[in-house]
Amino acid sequence: MNEINSQRRKSLKGTKKGDKVVVSWLDNTGDKNSAEAAIG
């Protein structure tokens, strides 16, 4: 699991401990990836 850059940190309303968050992205060079984390 990748550590989220502190400058990219966002708050999520309505989440609780143990919920999973998945973020997927496609950048301007065509590379894509995703990361999953549990709310702790």
7 phi and psi angles, rounded to 5 deg? -75, -15
| Cβ neighbour number for residue 21 with a 10 Å cutoff | 13
- Report the distance separating Cα 30 and Cα 15, nearest Å: 31
- Report the distance separating Cα 13 and Cα 19, nearest Å: 12
Question: What's the pTM value of the predicted model, to 2 decimals?
Answer: 0.54
Q: Which pLDDT value is given to residue 1?
A: 44
Instruction: Say which amino acid occupies 36.
Output: E
Q: What does the DSSP assignment read for 9-34?
A: ----TT--TT-EEEEEEE-TTS-EEE
Q: What is the pLDDT along the chain (40 residues), one digit of tens a residue?
A: 455 555 556 677 888 999 999 999 999 999 999 999 998 8
